[in-house]
Amino acid sequence: MPGRTFAFGDVHGELAAVRTVLARLPPLRADDTLVFVGDYLDRGPQSAQVVELLRRELPASVPARVVTLMGNHEDAWLRVRRTGWPQYVVPVDNGCLATYRSFAGGPVPAKGEFPANDELLAMLEGDFFPKDVAEWMAALPAYHEDEHAIYVHAGLPRKGDRWAHPSELDHPAPLLWLRDLDFVRHYRGKLVVFGHTATAMLPQELSHYTVHDPTDMFGGEFLIGLDTRCGHEGGFLTAVELPSLDVYESR
């Protein structure tokens, strides 16, 4: 019998939410897997601490395997470090100041707060990430697959008249950045678990899970959406257990 998989949605710097959900899981076993679908950084106040938990503390403290996938926010910061990307760093809604201060030290940003000039310069370079953290981010895989599902951050793109398997892609960008309702409405195939697009933005008529509450997990026949806006006001973290479909929330 295959082990259980617990898949977690976008975290966005909310360390307390991760710890809350972890505490609500059943006792973990050596044949279990914890899969985090990316976006550990930005918006929430503790991006650095979330990374430390997922890189070191959690793998050392549970018998289960821990799989951390790349999200578009990790990919964006890697691009900032490689070539610069002010269009990502500057918009306040992306939450980059919170990430900078969590690593460099400083108060939690107030809502709508702009960085000071020296902070903005450091953010535009992206050099505030410790070398080992940057290397960890660069090595994050774009997908994971087991007996239960395919796990990606954003979704799967089309390849001709069918949906591409992640292994067929020459570049992982679609797996990290795709936001296409065609995928949500028309995908048929092995179960895909994803984050990235808030569940409230997904077509609720296709979800069989608490249809009265669009902020909850999106659960369709072929897709499970886990981005319940953790890191945003009113949002929370969601994890789903496979194959049982038991759901665990931080709220």
**CA-angle at 166, arms to 165 and 169, nearest 5°:** 100
d(CA 187, CA 194): 13
Domain boundary assignment for the chain: 5-71+141-249
**Using one digit for the tens of pLDDT, what is the confidence trace for 125-148?**
999 999 999 999 999 999 999 999
**Using one digit for the tens of pLDDT, what is the confidence trace for 58-114?**
999 999 999 999 999 999 999 999 999 999 999 999 999 999 999 999 999 999 999
d(CA 25, CA 249): 10
116 Cα distance to chain centroid: 28
Classify domain 5-71+141-249 at the CATH topology level: Purple Acid Phosphatase; chain A, domain 2 (3.60.21)
Amino acid at 97: L
Structure tokens at 195: 């984050």
Q: Does residue 46 carry a pLDDT above 90?
A: yes
Segment among 53-57, 126-130, 214-218, 239-243 with least mean pLDDT: 214-218
8 Å CB contact between 5 and 26: no
Dihedral in degrees, nearest 10, Cα atoms 146, 132, 236, 227: -50
pTM, full prediction: 0.97
